[in-house]
Amino acid sequence: MGGWATSGLMWSAVVSTASVAWVWFGLGGQAYYATPLETRAYAAGHALLRPSGPIGQTLGMLGALAMLMPFLYMARKKLRWLKDAGSLRGWLELHLFCGVTGPVLVTLHTSFKFNGIISAAYWAMVTVMLSGFVGRYLFVRIPRSIRGTELSRGELDARADSLRVELAQSMPSMDLLRRVDAFEHEVVPEAASLSFVNLFFGDVGLHRRLRRFARDLVSGGLDAGLAAEVAGLMGERATLLRRIAYLQKTRTLFGVWHVFHLPLVYLLLVIVVAHVGVTLYLGYVPFRW
């Protein structure tokens, strides 16, 4: 099972939406969060939803644990004895799930009240989460094996050539083969036109173009079923060729992203530890209300 069923982003959306709906409608959060801060202590939901309340503390602890997930992900990548503990792709999806769900739970924990070091911690967390989306986008554009190992340029070229052979063998005439070549030229950037804009947005509309390409093949006399199969092969080859064309740029950007992202992760860890330490020092013992 794959695709959306194993997508960390999809499951984070499901869990986050369910959590917000539960707090917002099931626990009276809608009325509580709308109450001005000056009088919120007198609101009906204050005892339950305040940061030191039973629900507030639980959400904060779950959110903090989720945000520690990046360190397990980094350990999986760096420690040799963990190399067989699941695929890197699976760990990445779990990391993405925690990286989105954690901030949502922490936001509910704060009861939307930000001040002092809490404000700095919160916006550092948001920055880490948003930069994680960029990192994920770049990561999936570096072709990898099913185990998450980056493929060599030779392996990529061999797969692209194999797809080219399959496409050529599927075409009953030179006219249709020329249409395949024309479409490939249309969607795969040339070396002179490589740009960061095309890297991030060049895939937009590719599926729509492939459907149009399949209709063009049918109008040229190809069977509809075969046209759909050819469009699928063309989509895989076009995507692969785009990844190859942008491979060096993607690697460079991914390296720059690491330099930006990792210090923020460590800073966030320090702030979370400091927040928990100060909370305990002030006497807010977990689950003693």
Give residue-wise pLDDT tens across range 109-156.
Answer: 988 887 766 677 778 888 888 888 888 888 888 887 666 677 788 888
Give residue-wise pLDDT tens across range 181-193.
Answer: 888 888 887 765 6
Q: How far apart are CA 276 and CA 234, in angstroms?
A: 53
> Could you tell me the two tokens for 92?
């990445």
- H or E element in which residue 62 lies: helix 54-67
Q: How far apart are CA 31 and CA 98, in angstroms?
A: 28
Q: How far apart are CA 109 and CA 59, in angstroms?
A: 5
Q: Is the pLDDT of residue 42 over 80?
A: yes
pTM of the predicted model, to two decimals?
Answer: 0.73
Buried b (16+ CB within 10 A) or exposed e, 86-117: ebbbebbbbbbbbbbbbbbbbbbbbbeeeeee
